[in-house]
Structure 1
Amino acid sequence: MWYVYILRSIDFPEQEYIGATSDFKRRLPEHNAGKSAHTAKFKPWQLIWYCAFRNKLKALEFEKYLKSHSGRAFAKKRL
């Protein structure tokens, strides 16, 4: 399974991060440990939303969509 997820910074609630992974149980602690350059300065993070996909390509396509302008609007309104 592949997972697309949205995290929100606990200390900076206006900061959100969208990502995809095949191992979410490992990935969230990595974000909170500062192992990702993109998320280190806004840690700690909390999970806001996730979705599981059987297909890696579909997950990566949906992650890309959520990172687009219309995808961010969709996520803000619907997720």
Structure 2
Amino acid sequence: MYFVYILYSTSADTFYVGHTDDLLKRLNRHNSKLEPSTRRYAPWILLWSTSKNSRNEAVRLELKLKNLSRKRKISFMLRYAAGISSPDELKLLLQLSGC
């Protein structure tokens, strides 16, 4: 099982999209500044995630999400709200969307 996820950095007001086979371990690596691409924007909040049966499916969705604008990423997460990690993250997404 693989996961596609979207993180949010409040310090940089930016999103990060990735995939992994161990979501909690990966989030810990991002927040421990062990990932070069996200190190300077820690801490990260897990906003949204979904599971996929294969790595190939996860990579395809990750690439599609990475190519979305900020506004479309937010719309996507709100449309597929079952993947939002908690009510607090839903509230944050609604604030980011301007609703």
Q: Kindly, what percent of the aligned residue pairs are identical?
A: 32
TM-score by length of 2: 0.71
- Contiguous gaps of at least 5 residues in structure 1: none
TM-score in terms of structure 1 length: 0.87
C-alpha root-mean-square deviation of aligned residues, in Å? 1.5
| Higher-strand-fraction structure | 1
Q: Deviations over 1:29-70 (max 9, x none)?
A: 000000011110000001000000011101100001111146
Considering fraction of residues, name the structure with more helix: 2
Q: Which structure has the larger Rg over C-alpha atoms?
A: 2
Worse-matched range after superposition: 61-70 or 48-57: 61-70
4+ runs of 1 displaced by more than 3 Å?
none
> Which segments of 5 or more consecutive residues in structure 2 lack a partner in the other structure?
78-99
Q: How many Å separate the matches in 2 of 1:9 and 1:56?
A: 25
When the two structures are aligned, how many residues end up with a matched partner?
A: 77
